[in-house]
Structure 1
Amino acid sequence: MTFELNLVWRRKLLSTCGMLIIVGAAMAMTYLHTAGQSQHLLRWSIVFALLAVVGLLMFTLGLTSLTAPKARPDAGYLPPAMQRDGLQQVVLTLESRLEHAPIALFCVGSRGQEKNVSPLNGNARRLIAPGRVFEVSQLYEQIIAQAVGKRSMICFETEQGQERALLASSSLTLQSQTQLIVALMPVETELQIEAQQAWQKLIRVLTHEIMNSLTPVASLSSTAQDMLSDLQLPQQSTADLALAMDAISRRAHGLVNFVGSYRSLANVPVAQTERVQLQALLARISSLVSPMWQARGGEMQFSVAPANLEAMLDPAQLEQALINLIQNAFEATAAVKPATVHIRAQLSRGARLRIEVSDNGPGVPKDLIAHIFTPFFSTREHGSGIGLALVRQLVQGNGGTVRYAASVGGGARFIISL
């Protein structure tokens, strides 16, 4: 602003000086002609004429600069109208970037003694939309409790199960009011993938080392049993040794088979995706598992909406994942009469495939929900802990997620999103 004022005064000074030079030159020429000094008249007339021309140029330049538009892009100056348009464009750009930020942003303000939370962008509004977070008030309580400048992990229930999110905040003051800007980034899927990869590495190492030890034991115990018949030992001693060798052999072979079953978690093939019609896929599953449900008076229900719903996925892997979930429901509803399981396939937000498998069994206890997808963990006494872990791995291999979600009517409900 100071620069612009100085520039205006310089232009005024330039035009004033030009006018003074013109007036002075005219007066000087008038004096020469009046004095009648003919010997110097021509020479001084030329000099004063040149001065008058210079003064005219200075006056014209100064006057033109004062009346011309003051658009100086090189000096960063813009006329008021252009300034408003530029400021509006900057605001729109900032709003667009904020609206499409890949994290949920919230603002925590104060009204008297109370603090209120308001969403700042699209991700935040979608997160608290109906049907997404079960208890928005609980989520807001965790946001308000967030310490300034700190990061923390929070948990909240959604329609797809428990969600974990990273929370970070910063403080700023606008118009003498302090506000807290909180960023919330869901990381449940990323944490699941990291945990799954860690388990795969552990299982791969354990199964390799255990198999290397068990295979020779199983082989040597069988050889020792065959050698007993060639030894001249008392009958009682031979019987005792044979019984011991048989126990070692059976246990070794049993452990080999047991460990071999866990290799499936570490050696899932890469998904071979193709266009699949969900109605046909569920019909194939129904023909495989419906008879065992009907044999005990149970019922299976399949639904696809729309009927021609299709998706790009590995049909064999999705079938295996659904069969495991249905088998899990079959075992969970063993004491329920009549037992039912519902399999629903439909489109969800963002045109993603959503498959629900729900039953009318007792459901999973709340304190065990966080562990049901962990390899080797089982809620049943004789369970292997492979079924649900394999389901998650198969679904993740197809670019999706699977979660356990609370059911309003009771029972277990698993949601696959692809």
Structure 2
Amino acid sequence: MLIIDENHQIAKVNPVAENFLGQSARHLIGAHVADQIQFQDERLAKALLNREANVAARRVPVIVKGQEGGLVNFDIHTIPSDQRWRIVSIAPLPADGPVIERRSSEQEQFSVRAPDILGHEIKNPLAAIKGAAQLLDRSLSDDQRPLTHMIKGEVERIANLLDRMQSLSTKQPAKVEPANVHSLIDRARKSIETAHNGDLKITDQFDPSLPEVLVDPDAMLQVLTNLLSNAVDATKKLDNRDIQVITRYSFGASLSVHGSDQIVRLPVEIIVRDNGPGVPPELEQDIFSPFVSTKRDGQGLGLALVRKLINDMNGRVRYKRASGAKNTQFILFLPVAERG
């Protein structure tokens, strides 16, 4: 993020821009912007030196101090309150970024999912907002800086929300492999317990005879962490909180593979159970839908992601209101790995 004046000289620069341009703010401030950044596209080169230009370009090559700087998303616009100043935003893209493959179909050369569009178009102005807050941070007094910290924190929160939304739209198949389910549960449990500095204990009832399951270990770890985190949140106001993880073998569950006669057996069950208040009855049918949450500050994406990840692994998840003191349980049904 750079702010340039009416003479196209750099007036402000944030730390990320210092890293990208390879120079400190002390050397960059006062320099002509065209001496630091060049574009092969003539339209962008002219926009950089046009005080009235408001331009946004995606995935364009940039040259930094005569060296190729890779592909970037580029935005330049005037500040409405004072048009003598302009904001330049440059977001470098990964060198191994996505490659768009054109389809042979004349009706549909390529497709972009709505969450991807939403994330792409919102993240760029978010980066500009965060960069502007970083610039302001340098010129504010100590009692004013909490406001810019709040801005940066909220920008990061929204960016994380967009990442989670985009993950719900991905269609890539899960990379499944044989895994010990108890090992994954232990990792998730230790992570949650460590975060609470020993003030939390998650108990277990394991069936030691369970075979290995066919899952994506990283995705499975995320599923378990999400469910345990929800159980912790649900019981945080209780003096006698009780969170359990139960594993067992069941012969009843199976899955019909769409488009074929294949039946996938799902005999391994993982139950995450807590004695919290449970899901309100009016939300039970929609608890796995995006943006449905029982938390006041929740986004309603955690359980939607759990369902997506489990479905991608040919498993299933179910919510059940348990009887007695145990009010809530989520049951995962998983396939068994074939023995070699």
What TM-score does the superposition give when structure 1 sets the normalisation length?
A: 0.42
One-letter code of the match for 2:238? Answer: V
Q: For 1:213 and 1:293, how far apart are their aligned partners in 2? A: 34
Distance 1:417 1:225 in 2: 47
Partner of 2:305: 390
The corresponding residue for 2:178 is: 275
User: Aligned pair in 2 of structure 1 residues 246, 222: CA closer, same or farther (>3 Å)?
Assistant: farther
Name the CA distance, whole Å, in 2 between partners of 1:217 and 1:390.
Answer: 24
* Cα distance in structure 1, aligned partners of 2:284 and 2:120: 31
| Cα distance, 1:283 vs structure 2 | 2.5
Change (3 A) 1:224 1:295: closer
Task: Determine if contact 1:293/1:300 at 8 Å carries over to the other structure.
Answer: no
- The CA distance in 2 between the partners of 1:293 and 1:356, in whole Å, is 22
Alignment of 1:263 onto 2:178: no
Q: Could you say which residue in structure 1 is the equivalent of 2:223?
A: 321
Q: Give the superposition deviation at 1:405.
A: 0.7
Query: Is 1:381 paired with 2:296?
Result: yes
1:35-74, aligned counterparts within 5 Å? none
Task: Summarize deviations over 1:135-154 as a string: whole Å, max 9, x none.
Answer: xxxxxxxxxxxxxxxxxxxx
SS in 1 for 2:206: strand
Partner of 2:47: none
Task: Provide the rounded CA distance (Å) in 2 between the counterparts of 1:221 and 1:344.
Answer: 44
Partner of 2:30: none
Label 1:268 to 1:330 Cα distance change in 2 as closer, same or farther (>3 A).
farther
Q: Note the 1:289-300 alignment, pairs <5 A.
A: 289-292=192-195, 295-296=198-199, 298-300=200-202
Partner SS, residue 277 of structure 2:
coil
Q: Which has the higher contact order (CA 8 A, sep 6+)?
A: 2
CA distance in 2, matches of 1:408, 1:310: 30
Aligned residues: 206
Letter in 1 for 2:244: H
Hey, what does 2:107 align to over in structure 1? none
Instruction: Name the SS for the 1:380 alignment partner.
Output: coil
Task: Give me the identity figure in percent.
Answer: 30
| Partner Cα separation in structure 2 for residue 225 and residue 263 of structure 1 | 26
Deviation at 1:391, TM superposition (A): 0.6
Higher strand share: 2
Counterpart amino acid of residue 386 in structure 1: L
1:12-411 correspondence runs (5 A): 204-209=113-118, 211-216=120-125, 218-219=127-128, 222=131, 255-267=158-170, 269-292=172-195, 295-296=198-199, 298-350=200-252, 352-409=267-324, 410-411=326-327
- 1:54 matched residue in structure 2: none
Displacement after TM superposition at 1:286 (Å): 2.9
Cα distance, 1:225 vs structure 2: 9.0
Give the deviation of 1:249 after TM superposition.
Answer: 7.7
Q: Which amino acid aligns with 2:291?
A: F
Distance 1:245 1:374, change over 3 A: same
CA offsets 1:18-50 (integer angstroms, 9 cap, x no match): xxxxxxxxxxxxxxxxxxxxxxxxxxxxxxxxx
Change over 3 Å in CA distance of 1:370–1:405 after alignment to 2: same
The answer for unaligned runs of 5 or more in structure 2 is 1-111, 139-145, 253-264, 335-340
Q: Alpha-carbon deviation of 1:343?
A: 0.9
- Residues 212 and 399 of structure 1: is their aligned pair in 2 closer, same or farther, counting only changes over 3 Å? same
Instruction: Report the structure number with the largest CA radius of gyration.
Output: 1
Distance 1:306 1:207, change over 3 A: same
1: CA distance between counterparts of 2:176 and 2:242?
Answer: 31
Does structure 2 retain, via aligned residues, the 8 Å contact 1:272–1:313? yes
Query: Using the alignment, how far apart are the partners of 1:245 and 1:291 within structure 2?
Result: 31
> Per the alignment, do residues 343 and 254 of structure 1 end up closer, same or farther by CA in structure 2, a change over 3 Å counting?
closer
Q: Deviations over 1:156-206 (max 9, x none)?
A: xxxxxxxxxxxxxxxxxxxxxxxxxxxxxxxxxxxxxxxxxxxxxxx9414
Whichever residue aligns with residue 417 of structure 1, its letter is F
Q: Which secondary structure state, in structure 1, belongs to the residue aligned with residue 330 of structure 2?
A: strand
Q: How many angstroms does 1:294 deviate by?
A: 6.8
Distance 1:334 1:244 in 2: 30
Contact preservation (8 Å) 1:402, 1:417: yes
CA 1:252 to 1:215, structure 2 compared with 1: closer, same or farther past 3 Å? Answer: farther
Aligned counterparts of 2:130 and 2:187: Cα–Cα separation in 1:
44
Give the letter aligned to residue 335 of structure 1. Answer: K
Amino acid at match of 2:330: F
Superposed displacement of residue 255, structure 1: 3.5
Q: Is the 8 A contact 2:210 2:249 kept in 1?
A: no
Q: Does the aligned pair in 1 maintain the 2:270–2:333 contact within 8 Å? A: yes
Question: Which residue type is aligned with residue 411 of structure 1?
Answer: N
Q: Per the alignment, do residues 307 and 381 of structure 1 end up closer, same or farther by CA in structure 2, a change over 3 Å counting?
A: same
Question: Is the 8 Å Cα contact of residues 292 and 299 (structure 2) preserved in structure 1?
Answer: yes
How far is the alpha carbon of 1:348 from its aligned partner?
0.6
Deviation, 1:408, is 0.5
